[in-house]
Amino acid sequence: MRWTMVVMFLLLTGCNQHVSHGIDEETGLAYWQVEDGKISLRLVQRTPLQTQSFFLGRGFTRQQTETIAHGCVFQTIFKNISNESSSPVVLSYDLDQWVVHHDGKQPLKTREAWQQHWQEQGVAKAQQLAFNWALLPTRQEYRPGDYNWGMTAYDLAPGGEFDLTVRWQEAGQTREVIIHDLRCSTDIAQPNQEEES
Amino acid sequence: MKFGRLGVLMLCSAALFNANAADNQTLPALDKPFMAPEFTTMSESGKSHSLSDYRGKLVILNFWASWCPPCRYEMPSMERLWQQVQGKPVVILAVNVGEDADTIFEFTGHYPVSFPLLLDQDGSIIDSYPVRGLPTTFIISPEGRVTHRIIGSREWDEAQLIGQLLELATPSR
């Protein structure tokens, strides 16, 4: 019983030793990365201007883009990096199980919530499609080598800070890590400030 | 479609990300293969294509969008694969999700490919397949069964991967 409790504790508690933080060399924006030999999760800041430009390019009006651009968005890459030949595992997640810690607990704003929002706003089907596929899937299952690249959106203002509880399933076991002090980008990237933090 | 500085940077990131995983090339097999949903649609060049036209061949069915960095990243290797399987019973169908023919035409100026680029402007084709993110690629057997699903980009002209595909292209395995 005691050993079962210990194993459960190890599986469910944070693995912060695997979380790294730095400046993305390509974009000059901050990133946070979780990596443990099986999962690789990287969140890179997106500036409001980047996000607004992206959706203007997909046919949204400026007014429509402000809804998301004046929020908090990260480019997010979730990948199964387990080795197919030596230790293959299947990974899966459900974004509804991830928790944003900022003045209490909040959920992520997933595709389904956005779809309802855009439908209420009368946004055209083509724009809804582009938006849907630009976001990280709400639920996904990854075999070795599989990965997705998409935006995750948080109901916070630019510059806001939060902790993020990330949960995923690995060979049927729930794993969890807390990424501390994630920071939403503002419109002006401030790499020097990021490096000092 | 505009390829600004950010787009180039994102593509570089995709390339670096993929390079790190280049030694992990796999074609994950589905636990439960299923019959491929039929569709008929137009290509960017105005030709009609039905999936059933390709029965008897291995079909590599790729779902993509021009704004998706991993989708753009894998296009050149997919074209090299296409060149290497000419004369073999293998076909690539790349279904663009949600964009119009003009956008795809402009895309081919930056990423010249010679396999069919198909239109799915209303998302009805992608909705008939179990896709949650782009790019996703399905391998459809010569008998019309979806046997493998690949999520994210791959280096499609890698020798081992081509070998796997050609083996799958052999009927009645």
ipTM computed for the complex: 0.86
* A111 phi, psi to nearest 5 deg: -50, -45
Of B161, B165, B155, B42, which Cα lies nearest the Cα of B99? B42
Share of chain A above pLDDT 90, in %: 72
Tell me the per-residue pLDDT of B69-128, one tens digit each, with 9 for 90 and over.
999 999 999 999 999 999 999 999 999 999 999 999 999 999 999 999 999 999 999 999
CA A85 to chain centroid, in Å, comes to 28
Tell me the per-residue pLDDT of A66-97, one tens digit each, with 9 for 90 and over.
888 889 999 999 999 998 777 789 999 999 99
Spell out where B108-169 has E strands: 117-120, 136-140, 145-151
- Residue A46 contacts residue A73 (beta carbons within 8 Å): yes
* B-contacting residues in A 47-76 (Cβ below 8 Å): 50, 53-54, 57-58, 75
Q: Do B6 and A50 touch (CB under 8 A)?
A: yes
Taking residues A183-197, what's their average pLDDT? 59
User: Rounded to the nearest 10 degrees, how much is the dihedral formed by the CA atoms of A131, B9, A148, A45?
Assistant: -70
Taking residues A95-120, what's their average pLDDT? 93
Q: Which of B16, B69, B98 shows the shortest C-beta gap to A129?
A: B98
Report the C-alpha gap between A197 and A13 in whole angstroms: 25
* A-contacting residues in B 98-157 (Cβ below 8 Å): 98, 121-123, 132-134, 150-152, 154
pLDDT surpassing 50 at residue B21 = no
Cβ-based contacts of B6 with chain A (< 8 Å): 27, 50, 53
Give me the domains of chain B, ranges plus CATH numbers: 30-168 (3.40.30.10)
Q: Which of A83, A130, A137 shows the shortest C-beta gap to B24?
A: A83
Instruction: Supply angle C-alpha A40, A46, A50, rounded to 5.
Output: 140
> Which residues have C-beta within 8 Å of that of residue B63, sequence separation ≥ 6?
B94, B95, B97, B120, B126, B129, B131, B134, B135, B136, B137
* A-contacting residues in B 40-79 (Cβ below 8 Å): 65, 67-70
If pLDDT is split at 50, 70 and 90, which confidence band does A191 have? very low
| Structure-model confidence comparison of residues A106 and A175, the more confident one | A175
Instruction: Provide the pLDDT for residue A188.
Output: 57
Torsion sign across C-alpha atoms B50, B148, A82, A85: negative
Q: Do A149 and B98 touch (CB under 8 A)?
A: no
Cβ-based contacts of B122 with chain A (< 8 Å): 125, 129
Report the C-alpha gap between B113 and B97 in whole angstroms: 17
Q: Name the residue of chain A whose CA is nearest to B100's CA.
A: A126
Q: Do B67 and A84 touch (CB under 8 A)?
A: no
pLDDT surpassing 70 at residue A15 = no
Q: Name the residue of chain A whose CA is nearest to B122's CA.
A: A126
Cβ-based contacts of A123 with chain B (< 8 Å): none
- The H-or-E segment that residue A62 falls in is helix A62-69
Q: Which of A125, A133, A139 shows the shortest C-beta gap to B134?
A: A133
| Structure-model confidence comparison of residues B27 and B36, the more confident one | B36
Q: Which residues of A153-176 are buried (b: 16+ CB within 10 A; e: fewer)?
A: bbebebebebebebbbbbeeeebb
The answer for B125, left when phi > 0, alpha when psi is -120 to 50, beta otherwise, is alpha
Instruction: Provide the pLDDT for residue B55.
Output: 97
Q: Do A148 and B132 touch (CB under 8 A)?
A: yes
Q: Do A145 and B17 touch (CB under 8 A)?
A: no
Residue B171 distance to chain A (closest CA, Å):
26
Q: Do A27 and B13 touch (CB under 8 A)?
A: yes
Size of interface A-B (CB pairs under 8 A): 91
Instruction: Provide the pLDDT for residue A171.
Output: 85
Q: Which of A133, A140, A147 shows the shortest C-beta gap to B65?
A: A133
Instruction: Provide the pLDDT for residue B10.
Output: 52
- The H-or-E segment that residue A39 falls in is strand A39-46
